Amino acid sequence: MELQISSRVCQNLLITVALLICFSGIFYTYYQPNITWLKWPTVSRSNSCSEICISALKMPNQTEMVNNTCVVNIISIRNLLTQTEAVTQTDPDTILLIWMWPFGAKFDLGRCSSLFNIHGCRLTDNRSQFNNSHGVLFHHRNIREDDMPTLPRPLFQKWIWMNMESPSNSAPHSTLNNLFNLTATYRQDSDIMVPYGRISEKTGGSTTYKIPHKNKFVCWIVSNWSSKYKRSQYYENLNQHISIETYGHSVSRPVSKKDYLDLVSSCKFYLSFENSIHKDYITEKLYNPLKLGTVPVVLGPPRKNYEELIPGNAFIHVDDFSSPKELAEHLKLLDQNESLYRQYFTWREHFVASSTYFGLEHACWACDHIRRYKNYRVVRDLNSWYWG
């Protein structure tokens, strides 16, 4: 019972198929065809179609007469419809309102897609967009009670609390509880975790790493000296055994931004001593020397915590030694033995260190999070979560 069908009729069949597909979302959502070509012997009618459908119909090359049977390239039509469907389903952009600039420092709002490949997010600092915003970002240090939104919160809107300061360096606030829906901090248990830096695999495969020229042994730049810091005591003790090149305001040897890169990369070791010790509080003091080709000597949370974020052979931990004197001896050994020193660079064949974008990443990733996860959430006791 072969049908004699002309190619014009065949094209009409194509239209019919597309129409059917148009009106049976279930069909193309759940139907996973194993065959590319669908034989279509019967004709049905339908009389309305969306723009999307109509554009699908403008592709005459999607039908073929094979052995007098009209054959429709179902996959290509399905793909076309799914693509367009994705676009129509994509609600308009997710809007994230930056309520205040973190520390007053502005950043470019248009870079979520180019830097992080995050699409469908629109950042704004225009407070008149409050009613339309899916998320509102608040930076802890800049929160003031008399500067919070006064309009009612739209039901779909999520408020994000951002803080990159450690609990020691920031203060709890009685009004913070039951106010936010998401947290964006350096902590791994944040909803949106933004560390101070990252180690990523090199994109073009492994390459050898050339260690920058070194003419200094151990360096430290310290902007805020306080004898009550654990790091200060450790430094003083260490300095009795080896000589440390110390810079920064506190020792009247300030380093300009321009000189910073050259200075840090010319040191064999850099003291990445955190000012306060908290889980996950691992800052640019670590990531900068990693970026600049220097071996960091870290003082902060336990080694195990560092190893969750960076390779174990990328740094030296003060806890690896029973005393500053013992650490000093190890550093001297590495200073004299090139091949031992080089072992701290092997990870660089495969990985590269980078800093994160302060504020911008929080905003982009928060927006992405809100776009992806629709679940309801309230951060109840923020104060005891962060400072408890």
Q: What residues act catalytically?
A: 165
Residue 11 in tokens? 């094209």
Q: Which is nearer to ligand NAG, 6 or 126 (CB)?
A: 126
Contact 81, 73 (CB under 8 A): no
* 339 lies in the site for ligand NAG, by CB under 6 A: yes
Question: In this complex, which beta carbon is closest to ligand NAG, that of residue 39 or of residue 202?
Answer: 39
Answer whether 139's CB lies under 8 Å from 162's CB: yes
Nearer to ligand NAG, 175 or 226 (CB): 226
Residue 368: CB partners within 8 Å, gap ≥ 6? 112, 116, 118, 121
CA distances to 118, 139, 152, 374 from 370, rounded to whole Å, are 12, 17, 19, 7
Q: Provide the minimum distance between the beta carbon of 188 and ligand NAG in the complex, in angstroms, as a whole number.
A: 22
In the bound state with ligand NAG, the residue whose beta carbon lies nearer, of 203 and 256, is 256
140, 158, 187, 317: which one contacts ligand NAG (CB under 6 A)?
Answer: 158
Name the minimum Å distance from CB 69 to ligand NAG: 7
23, with CB counted inside 10 A (0-12, 13-18, 19+), is middle
Closest to ligand NAG by CB, 116 or 234: 234
Residues 51-70 that bind ligand NAG (CB under 6 A): 59, 61, 66-67
Q: Which is nearer to ligand NAG, 36 or 207 (by Cβ)?
A: 36
User: Own/partner pairs for 207-216, CB < 8 Å, 24+ apart?
Assistant: 207/349, 208/349, 209/293, 209/345, 209/348, 209/349, 211/293, 211/342, 211/345, 212/265, 212/266, 212/292, 212/293, 212/294, 213/266, 214/266, 214/267, 214/268, 215/266, 216/245, 216/266, 216/267, 216/268
Residue 33, phi then psi, degrees to nearest 5: -70, 140
Distance of closest approach, residue 184 Cβ to ligand NAG, in angstroms: 15
Q: Which of 7, 377, 384, 387 binds ligand NAG (CB under 6 A)?
A: 377
Q: Exactly one of 79, 126, 200, 206 binds ligand NAG (CB under 6 A); which one? A: 126
The distance of closest approach from Cβ of residue 358 to ligand NAG in the complex, given in angstroms and rounded to an integer, is 16
Q: By CB under 6 A, tell whether 163 contacts ligand NAG.
A: no
Burial of 180 (0-12, 13-18, 19+ CB in 10 A): buried
75 lines the binding site for ligand NAG (CB under 6 A)? no
Tell me which of 131, 188, 206, 323 binds ligand NAG, using CB under 6 A: 131
- Rule CB under 6 A: choose which of 92, 104, 152, 388 binds ligand NAG: 152
Outline where 158-266 has alpha helix (H): 230-238, 257-265
Footprint (CB under 6 A) of ligand NAG, residues 206-235: 224, 226
* Distances, alpha carbon 276 to alpha carbons 20, 146, 250, 388, in Å: 65, 30, 18, 15
Contact status, residue 361 vs residue 162, Cβ threshold 8 Å: no
Q: Give the total of residues touching ligand NAG (CB under 6 A).
A: 22
- Between 83 and 226, name the residue whose CB sits nearer to ligand NAG: 226
In the shown chain, the binding pattern of residues 289 to 328 toward ligand NAG, with x for contact by CB under 6 A and - for none, equals: ----------------------------------------
Binding segment for ligand NAG (CB under 6 A), chosen from 7-15, 100-108, 201-209, 371-379, is: 371-379
When asked if residue 3 is in the footprint of ligand NAG (CB under 6 A), the reply is no
Q: For residue 308, which of 164, 189, 183 has the smallest C-alpha distance?
A: 189
Q: Which is nearest to 295 in space by CA: 208, 387, 358, 209?
A: 209
| Binding region for ligand NAG (CB under 6 A) | 59, 61, 66-67, 126, 128-129, 131, 151-152, 158, 178-179, 181, 224, 226, 337, 339-340, 376-378
